Amino acid sequence: MADDDGRTRLPQWKEDFPIRWEEDHYVTRRELAKFLTLGSALLVGANAAVAIAGRARRAKSFEPRRVAAASALAPGQALLFRYPTEEDPCILVRTRAGALVAFSQVCTHLSCAVVYRASDDKLYCPCHEGLFACDPGERGAQPLEGPPERPLPRVVLDVRGDDVYATAVVA
């Protein structure tokens, strides 16, 4: 475009937004691809770390509380208690094999109350037919059937003589 004097004029947009190529910082396609690849790898790694941390189970100690007399439960029997607060329903089970175990009674699907089913030695949620193992030790109440995907929090027990105490929750 030429002005009245016959000089070449820049288009208006180039005057408004001038590009100074000599000051520009060039990024090659290879550098951009490398940056995108590394960025994606970092995001994948961060997501994996968050997922692993979310699944790691942590024990939280509370004031020990006497739950029951150990002799009060025969194999295949259960009783309900609350721990660590009155708002936290739990279930103490003497499995058919004779082990004492305790778990939160709140289903990890939609929070219905699970019950002990002695016929198959499992914890059952009647709301949506959820089924949990009732194993002593680390594995605890893993989900077996139905919609629940996370295990029930485990209540750590300490048997002192004939007294059963709850001392911590592993969630």
Pick from 164, 142, 167, 163: nearest CA to 153: 142
| Count of residues that interact with ligand FES, criterion CB under 6 A | 11
The residue number with the shortest CB distance to ligand FES is 130
Backbone φ, ψ for residue 43 (5° rounding): -65, -40
Among 70, 146, 156, 170, binds ligand FES (CB under 6 A): 146
Contact region for ligand FES (CB under 6 A) — 5-13, 34-42, 45-53, 145-153? 145-153
Q: Which of 83, 84, 95, 130: binder of ligand FES (CB under 6 A)? A: 130
Of 67 and 131, the one with the shorter C-beta distance to ligand FES is 131
Q: Is 89 in the site for ligand FES (CB under 6 A)?
A: no
Exposure string over 46-79, b if 16+ CB within 10 A, otherwise e: eeeeeeeeeeeeeeeeeebeebbebeebeebebb
84 binds ligand FES (CB under 6 A): no
- Coil, strand or helix: which one is 131? strand
Helices and strands counted in the chain (H then E): 2, 10
Q: Which is nearer to ligand FES, 112 or 144 (CB)?
A: 112
Which positions lie near ligand FES, rule CB under 6 A? Answer: 107, 109-110, 112, 125, 127-128, 130, 146-148
